[in-house]
Structure 1
Amino acid sequence: MFFRFPRSALILATAGFVLTACNASDSEPTQHQLLPPQLAEKHAHWGHYGGDEGGARFVSHTQITPANVDALEPAWTYHTGDLAPESFPDPFNSPALQTTPILARDTLYLCSPRNRVIALDPLTGEERWHHDADPALTGLYSVTCRGVAFHDSGDAGTSGACAARILAGTLDGRLLALDADNGKPCEDFGDSGEIDLIADLGDVRPAEYALTSAPTIVGDRVVVGAHVADLRRGGVPSGVIRAFDVRTGEQVWDWEALPPEQRVAGSYTPGTPNAWAPFSADSARGLVFIPTGNPAGDYYGGERNGRDTFGSSVVALDALTGERRWSYQTVHRDIWDYDVPSQPLLFDYPGPDGPVPALVQATKMGFLFVLNRETGEPLLPIEERPAPGGGPAPEALSPTQPWPVLPEPLHPTELTEDDMFGFLWFDRQACIKQFRSLNYDGLFTPISTQPTLVYPGFMGGSNWGSVSWDPVRKLLLANTSRIPAVIELIPRAVVEAPGFSEPVELQLDTPYAVKRRPMLSPLGAPCNRPPWGVLTAIDMTTGKKAWEVPLGSTRDLAPFPLWLNLGVPNSGGSMVTASGLTFIAAATDSYLRAFATETGEELWKARLPAGGHATPMSYTGKDGAQYVVIAAGGNRMLGSTMGDAIVAFRLR
């Protein structure tokens, strides 16, 4: 969930207010030894949404280095043709180009916000084919598609087609299989190339069930979850996870986030936690890892009747059977919209006795949970700390919440009066007055009928861009936002009374509607002091921050000369190269940046035609050149410039 960041707020920023990087060294980044052959091969091909199936977002290509990155220039640009602003008058129904392409069979495959699946020449950006899924869009909160998946079975179907296929989801709840060579539907898959995922979910209303993340391939299984609409009603569709045979489309298993004794054979339970973020897979161990959301009821925890059991968790499922191997809950009885928003990262944890197969889950709270991916046991210490009680359903709250001791949090864990900010003195005083008036008792303050301060707010902390991992330097890279929110429960009787006209989200089937907003000053700035967005490196050998720098400037939000590197709200992710570079856009300004992975020093940036709210990817083409590719589509709710471009860079 995002909000529109006001341009007017930053026009009033004082030109003398400048933030510097924390703990960033002035030394030049050093070159590391070549990767071991097995690791180099694993990360040579960007064949999955997150680079590899474990979401490392790391490439072994080393042609672009800290020494020559300033010679990068645009190689080609492709326009999806999907913008059409006149088709999206409501900012809550706006296109968001957030796709990360994958490379297979010497072709780039991607999707546009309105589910055009596209194949491009990786050297020129020339379109080879596209398939328009033409989804129904009415009532959608956001129109986006973040990626597609590729499967090569090695054998063609009865028509001689679809030996290799692209799997893609749609915004109206379908799963497609397309011939990777020409984009035509694979007739042997489901019903003439598609599966209706809504058909057996019961009462599904328009815009309640949409696939925004790339499907996950594990062997011959394609595994999918879905975005289920928040804050509408308790009877929204089940968040069931399902696996299908990648050739025939036959369903082979399902898993619903309920205790086994509450499962009802042959049907699905409305309102169970969904999983809208990308999944990760460990093919060697036959596991798929699911980041789950919270159950329906959202900001009200009463009457959930066990649907919290696997909410806001990371869950390991057997890829062949769907059996739950283990699960770890990152928030107990979540009433803060702290659903797990990002792809779990699979990596080898550098333990004292050698590498350990591990998983790290980034959350909206800014916590990193580091777990053994075979057992789910913590590899770094996590404490159960007391949590405040209260609110309209205190009996439904957990008395404790999990709190990682290490790694260090990516986001501040509290907000104080001293943290209040304003562009001018009266602006700050208004924020202080607002802070004093709010219900606030730390990170897990129960949502109340009194305006309640929630920090991090509903956009995080971390969000769907996830984190990236440098296996050479043992550094984890994470971008986060720092925007507080104010949330209030409005009794149903008040909402239904004659004359009530405040904008609320209805949250039907509970006693309360919900009113939400970012905590802003009278001049429109976030009430907490900058940075409002940062890029952080965590040294995973110690769990400590190696460095942290503000991410993004006020350019494109304020006029010259008020272009300040304050760090701004961001949406998207990073990509790391073996040569020691971290590429990221994500911020509200229209830049793609390269940082020195070891130090956090900004080494290069290039203007994009729109906000780059996506994750970059990289590959080496048949011409021998290394390319860096990113989608630049903007985000209306963050206030960044809109567009429909896929942009590739290479050394001149």
Structure 2
Amino acid sequence: MKFRFLCSAVVFLFSAFSVYGQTPNSGSVEWPAYGNDPGGMRFSPLKQINTANVKQLTVAWTFRTGELEHYKGTNADEKAAFEATPVMVDGTLFFSTPSSRVFAVDAATGAPKWSYDPQVYLRQDLSEVTSRGVSVWPAVGDKTAGNTAKRILIPTLDGRLIALDAKTGRPVSSFGKDGTVDLRQGVGNISVTSPPAVIGNTIVVGSSMGDNQRFNYERGIVRAYDAVTGKLRWSWDPIPRTPTDAGFETWKGPSATQTGAANAWSIISADAERDLVFVPTTSPSPDYYGGERLGKNTNANSIVAIRASTGKVVWSFQTVHHDIWDYDNAAQPLLFSFAQNGKTVPAVAVGTKMGHVFILHRETGVPLLPVQERPVPASKIPGEEAHPTQPFPATLPLLGLQKPEAWGATPEAKTAAQQRMASLQYQGPFTPPSLQGSIIAPGNVGGINWSGMCYDPESGLLITNVNRLAAVITLIPRAKLAESVQNDQELMRAETGMQSGTPYVMKRSYLFAKDEQGIAMQTAPPWGTLAAINLKKGALEWEVPLGFMYDPRKYPETKQWGSINFGGAIATAGGLIFVAASLDGHFRAFKTSDGSLQWEVPLPAGGQATPMTYQLNGKQYVVIAAGGHAKVGTKLGDYVVAYQLP
């Protein structure tokens, strides 16, 4: 069994990188897509940097975008997060800033080649100010485009899709209207924060929108455009609108067809060989009350396989039934080859905010590892009907905070945590929101968030960083809102969502308090980890704390407590996992086989982004965007930093 798995992994690894015209021994090994390959494995065959020499890494070059200066006169710096992962093709690094500006720099030196500013109006009401990157068309290895010049595709915060000439940075006039497609036309006030999927001559793009303001939000449609002309090829609405639409019967109530969202704001994966794209959908609107959309809500909170050439749904797998917890599918579906019963099976791995990992057959959506429907608590909110069961992976470990325990850095802090938790409702996983206030664990930041997973085909390890943070959700009857504001001082400080069109306003906070340290956690550590699942064994291989949140001079044990984290990890054939993400502002490398820390350096600003690596002129580089995350309070900046061996 081990020998057969090793052979299939090696064959897959060789064929994957042969498709892109790259081998570890070539002078140039690119990183041509957000997750390196279109299926988001985030694995590199490079091993020049390895466990024996990673401690010698030094800064090769630093590039600054001037982004903070760009925010002057706006409040963009209150929401901005530099979450981009650069791509590298033809010796050039391409990336976007939170305001959707695009830069091309020399991959060897960091010297600027060109920049493009789409002139996003930053004073408009934007839910997020971020961009996770750009896409390249045609995809590396795709010969169907002929001699057409390479294009860089940037979706913008104000709902545009722009095609730029990769050599000059100028808009391609033949694409859309003068290089631009208006994604808001016929849809409404949407943004796009993730790079589109590229599959042949088709570009597939989702959308991002604010949460919890009303139940009839914009439609979360997914659209495909011709990569050459920008013409619309197809669109797909995850919410069934007519009785003839599949799954219509699972959306119940007279207002169900008016529900919005269930959009795909994260990364869409592509399988050109099978003509499939894999779309991660989210919660219908609003996130925390589903009385206007009773039922299972098919296609929301799902991984949906769509035929790229036609827009027809091939299969759909739902990770949460009738979501009332903001459990979006935030992570990119990860496409890989799975060894089962002596055969290599095309698979997709799905990591969720609940800390669940599902392994599905890529062609059918059928689980390759068992999934169980388990009973979960009922809702006591008038008008709400929580789904009686939810899907759980039956054999794989559950990640994230599954059972919160009160904690404090001092006895007084622990007592306060115990008192707060005792005042709230908690009935285990999928505890519904309540009038009293409910502990939701894992919370809406995960588990596994947009940071996603990476896969090392040589070891068979699926690696992900994990948040262990509980949310507190309270529903306030709209008729009693004025009274609640007067009597609840915390309400003025917490996140609120009006959820217009429903009987309830949502209040969201988290199980932490504020003290002289900033965040004072109220649940037991670790609060953030890096974990590896051995898919050959179906077991947790290792899990280690990731980063720290408290001052190590006052709390020496803080490095064992981990940190809330945003930004993913990558794996390399050098036996290393590279990840930043934590709130302490460090970039780290861990040993793939056992999770031991091999290297760490401070970044010039927060590293809430996924790194990447490439080889140019025989030298391997590791690159990360370091620009911080305003909403979680890490240091803002405008840096892209490259590391190399001396």
Q: Same fold (TM over 0.5)?
A: yes
Amino acid at match of 1:512: Y
1:584 aligns with 2:579: yes
Deviations 1:248-291 (A, max 9, x none): 01101011112373589xxx965141010101011100000000
Alpha-carbon distance in structure 1 between the residues aligned to 2:156 and 2:259: 21
1:515 aligns with 2:534: no
Q: Where does residue 45 of structure 2 map in the other structure?
A: 60
Deviations 1:94-153 (A, max 9, x none): 221110011112211110111111111000011101110111232223210001110138
Contact 1:632 1:645 in 2 (8 A): yes
Deviations 1:533-574 (A, max 9, x none): 0000110101101111000023xx537354631201000000
1:423 aligns with 2:416: no
Q: Which residue of the other structure, out of 103, 107, 121, is the alignment partner of 2:88?
A: 103
Q: Where does residue 134 of structure 1 map in the other structure?
A: 119
Q: Where does residue 433 of structure 1 map in the other structure?
A: 419
Alpha-carbon distance in structure 2 between the residues aligned to 1:87 and 1:304: 42
1:572 aligns with 2:576: no
Q: Where does residue 560 of structure 1 map in the other structure?
A: 553
Q: 1:355 to 1:34 in 2, by over 3 A?
A: closer
Q: Which residue of the other structure, out of 161, 167, 179, is the alignment partner of 2:165?
A: 179
Q: 1:180 to 1:452 in 2, by over 3 A?
A: same
Q: 1:191 to 1:497 in 2, by over 3 A?
A: farther
Alpha-carbon distance in structure 1 between the residues aligned to 2:351 and 2:149: 36
Q: Where does residue 115 of structure 1 map in the other structure?
A: 100
Contact 2:607 2:627 in 1 (8 A): yes
Alignment of 1:310-321 (within 5 A): 310-321=299-310
Q: 1:257 to 1:307 in 2, by over 3 A?
A: farther
Alpha-carbon distance in structure 1 between the residues aligned to 2:83 and 2:639: 11
Contact 1:552 1:587 in 2 (8 A): yes
1:393 Cα shift? 4.5
What SS does structure 2 have at the residue aligned with 1:631? strand
Q: Which residue of the other structure, out of 41, 60, 63, is the alignment partner of 2:18?
A: 41
Q: Where does residue 5 of structure 2 map in the other structure?
A: none
What SS does structure 2 have at the residue aligned with 1:209? coil
Q: Where does residue 629 of structure 1 map in the other structure?
A: 623
What SS does structure 1 have at the residue aligned with 2:621? strand
Deviations 1:196-254 (A, max 9, x none): 111112xx3xxx41100001101110000011210111222100000000010110101
Q: Where does residue 361 of structure 1 map in the other structure?
A: 350
Deviations 1:330-357 (A, max 9, x none): 0000000001111000011121222110
1:532 aligns with 2:527: yes
Q: 1:171 to 1:306 in 2, by over 3 A?
A: farther
Amino acid at match of 1:37: F
Alpha-carbon distance in structure 2 between the residues aligned to 1:326 and 1:314: 8
Deviations 1:77-105 (A, max 9, x none): 00111124964875884221110011112
1:519 Cα shift? 1.1
1:401 aligns with 2:390: yes
Q: Where does residue 9 of structure 1 map in the other structure?
A: none
Alpha-carbon distance in structure 1 between the residues aligned to 2:531 and 2:208: 28
Alpha-carbon distance in structure 2 between the residues aligned to 1:499 and 1:445: 25
Q: Which residue of the other structure, out of 207, 214, 218, is the alignment partner of 1:237?
A: 218
Alpha-carbon distance in structure 2 between the residues aligned to 1:276 and 1:86: 24
Q: Which residue of the other structure, out of 362, 375, 380, is the alignment partner of 1:373?
A: 362
Q: 1:570 to 1:89 in 2, by over 3 A?
A: farther
What SS does structure 1 have at the residue aligned with 2:520? coil
1:214 aligns with 2:173: no
1:594 Cα shift? 0.7
Contact 2:295 2:322 in 1 (8 A): no
Alpha-carbon distance in structure 2 between the residues aligned to 1:641 and 1:88: 19
Q: Where does residue 329 of structure 1 map in the other structure?
A: 318
Contact 2:296 2:322 in 1 (8 A): no
| Bigger RCO (CA 8 Å, 6+ sep) | 1
The gaps in structure 2 that reach 5 residues or longer are 1-8, 23-28, 246-256
Q: Which residue of the other structure, out of 375, 391, 403, is the alignment partner of 2:380?
A: 391
Q: Where does residue 616 of structure 1 map in the other structure?
A: 611
What SS does structure 2 have at the residue aligned with 1:311? coil
Q: Which residue of the other structure, out of 73, 80, 96, is the alignment partner of 2:65?
A: 80
Alpha-carbon distance in structure 1 between the residues aligned to 2:276 and 2:10: 32
1:45 Cα shift? 3.0
Contact 1:479 1:573 in 2 (8 A): yes
Amino acid at match of 2:112: E
Contact 2:294 2:385 in 1 (8 A): no
1:467 aligns with 2:448: no
Q: Where does residue 592 of structure 2 map in the other structure?
A: 597
Identical-residue share of aligned pairs (%)? 42
Amino acid at match of 1:486: V
Amino acid at match of 2:178: S
Q: Where does residue 645 of structure 2 map in the other structure?
A: 651
The gaps in structure 1 that reach 5 residues or longer are 1-31
Alpha-carbon distance in structure 2 between the residues aligned to 1:298 and 1:354: 40
1:394 Cα shift? 6.3
Q: Where does residue 464 of structure 2 map in the other structure?
A: 478
Deviations 1:466-510 (A, max 9, x none): 000000000011101111111101111122569758432211111
Deviates more, 1:88-97 or 1:489-498: 88-97
Give runs of ≥4 in structure 1 deviating > 6 Å: 32-35, 153-157
Deviations 1:35-93 (A, max 9, x none): 96324435743111111001000000111110011111000000111124964875884
Alpha-carbon distance in structure 2 between the residues aligned to 1:383 and 1:146: 34
What SS does structure 2 have at the residue aligned with 1:396? coil
Alpha-carbon distance in structure 1 between the residues aligned to 2:541 and 2:528: 17
Q: Which residue of the other structure, out of 278, 283, 298, is the alignment partner of 2:272?
A: 283
What SS does structure 2 have at the residue aligned with 1:438? coil
Alpha-carbon distance in structure 1 between the residues aligned to 2:12 and 2:590: 20
Q: Which residue of the other structure, out of 328, 332, 344, is the alignment partner of 2:333?
A: 344
Q: 1:579 to 1:440 in 2, by over 3 A?
A: same
Deviates more, 1:147-156 or 1:369-378: 147-156
Alpha-carbon distance in structure 1 between the residues aligned to 2:461 and 2:62: 32
Amino acid at match of 1:590: G
What SS does structure 2 have at the residue aligned with 1:83? helix
Contact 1:300 1:393 in 2 (8 A): no
Amino acid at match of 1:224: V
Deviations 1:292-321 (A, max 9, x none): 001112100111166922111110000001
Contact 2:63 2:110 in 1 (8 A): yes
Contact 2:191 2:208 in 1 (8 A): yes
Q: Where does residue 146 of structure 1 map in the other structure?
A: 132
Q: Where does residue 20 of structure 1 map in the other structure?
A: none
Deviates more, 1:526-535 or 1:563-572: 563-572
Alpha-carbon distance in structure 2 between the residues aligned to 1:244 and 1:609: 39
Alpha-carbon distance in structure 1 between the residues aligned to 2:355 and 2:186: 36
Deviates more, 1:132-141 or 1:497-506: 497-506
Contact 1:456 1:482 in 2 (8 A): yes
What SS does structure 2 have at the residue aligned with 1:284? helix
Q: 1:88 to 1:299 in 2, by over 3 A?
A: farther
Amino acid at match of 1:210: S
1:261 aligns with 2:242: yes
Alpha-carbon distance in structure 1 between the residues aligned to 2:288 and 2:627: 31
Aligned CA RMSD, in angstroms, stands at 2.4
